[in-house]
């Protein structure tokens, strides 16, 4: 079985500062992570290939990620462009650069944008992504899920991937609103979700696999095994766990008969096969 990690990051802070990293609470990731570090993580975790995902709204970071996408272990890049500017020009520039053929999607850090309803701006050109066979990765906090659903519904020709199951508020113990909104999103045919990043929604130093059971079960029931993708969310996963442990947890939480699809097959089909959500 080929394991494809649908969500990992690289950064060199001198080139693309990561202003969201808090040196006090996030000390374990407050340094650079680059290609050799990724290779070591993949080897330790049994991951064959990885889709790199942007971590700042930076064209420079996207160019850097595409540059390293020549590595066989990098399957694709979800980068950033300014979707309120000339999308065609920006995409032409990226695709003509080294590694540009591995651009598979676009993401904007909507969860920390000063405008909490950035996704609903009429100036955001989501339609251009469908025209260019690119996916849009949605990263939102749980209270933004209704906004995310409205965006997904408004662009039925665009394929969306919901990162981190929409960040269920596990630490709060109250998943009622998240459960309702995630089911509404899953009812839309042009969206899939990543089984990634949810350990960051726990109390980082005091959680167990049992705390993850309900959100995973809800997501599996809502999306089904053909619309869930495994992602390590490395290196952020280090804040509460590590990548090898997360792979083991995913294998424990999902039925064995779905391992092949969720741990690799779906990412191959959705990101890399030209057949989107």
Pull the structure tokens for residue 77. 């890049």
The number of folded domains in the chain is 1
Query: Has residue 82 been placed in a domain?
Result: yes
Q: Which residues contact 33 (CB under 8 A, 6 or more apart)?
A: 9, 10, 11, 234, 235
Q: Which residues contact 184 (CB under 8 A, 6 or more apart)?
A: 145, 146, 149
Whole-number pLDDT of residue 275:
46
Average pLDDT, the chain: 97
Whole-number pLDDT of residue 70:
86
pTM exceeds 0.95:
yes
Q: For residue 141, what is the domain's CATH number?
A: 3.20.20.140
Stretch 151-168: mean pLDDT, rounded?
98
For the segment 67-89, what is each residue's pLDDT rounded down to a tens digit? 999 889 999 999 999 999 999 99
For the segment 244-275, what is each residue's pLDDT rounded down to a tens digit? 999 999 999 999 999 999 999 999 999 998 54
For the segment 1-56, what is each residue's pLDDT rounded down to a tens digit? 899 999 999 999 999 999 999 999 999 999 999 999 999 999 999 999 999 999 99
Residue 195 dihedral angles phi and psi, to the nearest 5°:
-85, 85
Percent of the chain past pLDDT 90, that is, above it, reads 97
Stretch 192-203: mean pLDDT, rounded?
98
Confidence of residue 277 (pLDDT cuts 50, 70, 90): very low
Per the structure, the complete domain to which residue 36 belongs is given by 4-272
Query: Has residue 184 been placed in a domain?
Result: yes
State how far the alpha carbon of 257 is from the alpha carbons of 46, 47, 116, 190, 263, in Å: 18, 19, 39, 24, 11
- The DSSP-derived string for 68-133 is HTTSTTEEEEEE---TTS-HHHHHHHHHHSTTGGGEEEEEE-TTSSSSTTGGG-TT--THHHHHTT
Query: Has residue 157 been placed in a domain?
Result: yes
Stretch 141-169: mean pLDDT, rounded?
98
Stretch 204-216: mean pLDDT, rounded?
97
Query: Has residue 242 been placed in a domain?
Result: yes
Query: Residue 276: pLDDT above 50?
Result: no
Query: Has residue 277 been placed in a domain?
Result: no
Confidence of residue 118 (pLDDT cuts 50, 70, 90): very high
Strand order in the sheet with 191-195: 4-8, 49-53, 74-79, 103-108, 135-138, 160-162, 191-195, 228-230
Query: Has residue 245 been placed in a domain?
Result: yes
Stretch 156-168: mean pLDDT, rounded?
98
């Amino acid at each position: 079985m080929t394991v494809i990690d649908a969500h990992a990051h690289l950064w060199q802070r001198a080139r693309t500062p990561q202003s969201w990293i808090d040196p006090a609470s996030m000390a374990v990731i407050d340094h650079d992570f680059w290609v050799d570090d990724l290779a070591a993580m993949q080897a330790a975790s049994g991951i064959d290939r990885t889709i790199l995902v942007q971590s700042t709204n930076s064209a420079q970071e996207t160019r850097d990620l595409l540059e390293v996408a020549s590595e066989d272990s990098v399957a694709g890049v979800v980068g950033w462009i300014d979707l309120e500017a000339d999308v065609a020009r920006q995409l032409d520039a990226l695709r003509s650069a080294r590694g540009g053929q591995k651009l598979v999607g676009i993401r904007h850090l909507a969860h920390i944008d000063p405008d909490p309803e950035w996704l609903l701006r009429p100036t955001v050109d989501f339609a251009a992504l469908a025209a260019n066979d690119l996916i849009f990765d949605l990263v939102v906090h749980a209270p933004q899920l209704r906004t995310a659903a409205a965006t997904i519904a408004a662009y039925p020709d665009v394929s969306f991937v919901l990162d981190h199951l929409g960040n269920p508020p596990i630490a709060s113990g109250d998943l009622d609103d998240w459960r309702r909104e995630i089911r509404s999103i899953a009812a839309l045919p042009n969206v899939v979700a990543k089984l990634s990043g949810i350990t960051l929604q726990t109390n980082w130093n005091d959680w167990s696999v049992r705390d993850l059971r309900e959100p995973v079960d809800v997501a599996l029931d809502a999306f089904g095994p053909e619309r869930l993708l495994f992602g390590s969310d490395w290196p952020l996963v280090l804040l509460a766990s590590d990548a090898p442990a997360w792979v083991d947890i995913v294998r424990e939480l999902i039925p064995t008969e779905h391992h092949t699809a969720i741990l690799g097959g779906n990412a191959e089909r959705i990101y890399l096969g030209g057949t989107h959500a």
